[in-house]
Amino acid sequence: MSGSLLHLLPEVADAVAAGDPVVALESTIISHGMPYPTNVAMAREVEQIVRDRGAVPATIAVLDGVAKVGLTSDDLELLATHPDVHKATTRDLPWLLATGRHGATTVAATMRLAARAGVRVFATGGIGGVHRGAGLSFDISADLTEMATVPVAVVSAGVKSILDIGLTLERMETLGIPVIVNGSDDFPSFYSRTSGFPAPRRLDGAEEIAAFLHAAWGPDLGLSCGVSIANPIPAADEIPAAEIHEAIEAALAELDDRGVVGQDVTPFLLANVVERTGGRSLDANLALVRNNAATAADIAVSHARLARR
C-alpha cells in the first residue's frame, strides 16, 4: 500500500483498503494561507467535521522528506509554525523527498498524493487558476494541469478574483476538466456566491455529485481527469463582490509595485487581502472551508456506496 517515502496513516490505509469514505485535505492553506494560530485550529476543526459526517480525514503534507497521507495533531502544529515549510506543487515533491525537507502541498500536489494513496475526494478553500495578466506573465497555476490529469474531485468555493475567473473557466474547458457548481446556477468566487459567470454544469447535493463521479470514473467512460466542484460559500458568511473588490485591487497593485513573481504570488495576495480587510475575509475563509469539508465528506460517503456496488 505504501512505499518507504509514501506513508499512509494506518486509519487512512484501512479505510482505503475497505472502500470506506476518505477526504483528503491540503496543507498549503495551513502553512501559507492563514495566520497562526487560526491555521492550526482550522486544520483540526476541519478534520473533525469530516469525521462527524462519517468519513476519515487525510491531511496531506511532506514531513522530513516523507510524503504523508494522514497527519497527527503534532504534524498539524509543525506545519502551522515551522519556518522552513516549503510551498510544494507536484514538481517540487521529488526535491522534498530527495533532500528530506518539509513541504506544504498545494491543490496540485495534494491531488497527486491523494491519488497515489487511493483517495478520490478532496476539500480545500480556493483553487489556483489563470492569473490576471497571464497573457504576458504566463502565470497559470499547476492546479489546472493536475486537475486535467489526476482523477480526484476537488471541492472548493470557486476561484478568488485575485485570478482572472473568465480565463480560468476557459482554460478548464480546454483542459477537459469538468466544472460542477453545487446547488447554484452561478459560478462562485470564494468570498461571494456569484462571479458574473454562469455554472458550466449545476448539480444539487452530494448524491447527484457522487453519481457524476461514478459516471466519470466508472468502467463505462473510464475518464482519467479530475473534477472541479465549486461549492458556494453559505449566504450568511458571504462578502459581496463589491465589498471585497477594493482590497483585491489594492493587493494586486502592491504585488506589481513589489515585483512579486512565481510561486510567491498567490501567498502574497492571500495575506495582503486578509491584512486589508482585517478579520473579515479570514472569517469568510474559515466558513467556506468548513462548508467544503462537510460537502466533500457527504460526497465521499455517497461515492463510496456507489463504487462498492
Query: Which of 77, 87, 160, 238 is labelled catalytic?
Result: 160
Q: Does 270 contact ligand PSU by CB under 6 A?
A: yes
Tell me whether residue 26 is one of the annotated catalytic residues: yes
How far apart are the C-alpha atoms of 60 and 51, rounded to whole Å?
16
Q: Which does 46 bind (CB under 5 to 8 A by kind): ligand PSU, Mn ion, none?
A: none
Each residue 133-152 as x (binds Mn ion by CB under 5 A) or -, in order, gives: ------x-------------
Minimum CB–partner distance for residue 146 and Mn ion (Å): 13
Do 139 and 163 touch, CB atoms closer than 8 A?
no
Q: Which does 107 bind (CB under 5 to 8 A by kind): ligand PSU, Mn ion, none?
A: ligand PSU
Neighbours of 65 (CB within 10 A): 15
Binds ligand PSU (CB under 6 A): choice among 122, 187, 190, 212: 190
Please identify which residue in the block is written with the cell numbers 487581502. Answer: 273
- Give the count of residues interacting with ligand PSU (CB under 6 A): 18
Neighbours of 227 (CB within 10 A): 23
Cell of 3: 512505499
Say if residue 278 is exposed, middle or buried (CB neighbours under 10 Å; 0-12, 13-18, 19+): exposed
Residue 158's φ and ψ, nearest 5 degrees, are 95, -150
Among all residues, whose Cβ is closest to ligand PSU? 126
* DSSP alpha helix (H) spans, 10-164: 10-18, 28-31, 38-52, 73-81, 93-99, 107-117, 134-137, 142-149
Q: Does 141 contact ligand PSU by CB under 6 A?
A: yes
Each residue 227-266 as x (binds ligand PSU by CB under 6 A) or -, in order, gives: ------------------------------------x--x
Q: Which does 143 bind (CB under 5 to 8 A by kind): ligand PSU, Mn ion, none?
A: ligand PSU
- Give the count of residues interacting with Mn ion (CB under 5 A): 1
Neighbours of 306 (CB within 10 A): 14
Q: Which does 29 bind (CB under 5 to 8 A by kind): Mn ion, ligand PSU, none?
A: ligand PSU
Q: Which is nearer to ligand PSU, 102 or 214 (CB)?
A: 102
Tell me whether residue 160 is one of the annotated catalytic residues: yes
Give CA torsion, residues 282, 159, 47, 115, to 10 deg: -150
Minimum CB–partner distance for residue 264 and Mn ion (Å): 9
Q: Does 125 contact ligand PSU by CB under 6 A?
A: yes
Q: Which does 160 bind (CB under 5 to 8 A by kind): Mn ion, ligand PSU, none?
A: ligand PSU
Please identify which residue in the block is written with the cell numbers 450568511. Answer: 236
Query: Which of 26, 77, 146, 238 is labelled catalytic?
Result: 26
**What is the DSSP pairing of strand 102-105 with strand 85-88?**
parallel
Q: How far is CA 207 from the centre of its chain?
A: 21
Question: What residues between 95 and 114 interact with ligand PSU by CB under 6 A?
Answer: 106-107
Name the DSSP letter for residue 193.
S
Binds ligand PSU (CB under 6 A): choice among 96, 142, 179, 293: 142
Q: Does 26 contact ligand PSU by CB under 6 A?
A: yes
Among all residues, whose Cβ is closest to Mn ion? 139
CA contacts within 13 A on the Cβ side of 151: 13
How far apart are the C-alpha atoms of 239 and 217, rounded to whole Å?
35
Question: What residues between 272 and 291 interact with ligand PSU by CB under 6 A?
Answer: none
How far apart are the C-alpha atoms of 83 and 268, rounded to whole Å?
16
Cell of 199: 455554472
Catalytic residue ranges: 26, 160
Q: Which residues make up the interface to ligand PSU (CB under 6 A)?
A: 26, 28-29, 33, 89, 106-107, 125-126, 128, 141-143, 160, 190, 263, 266, 270
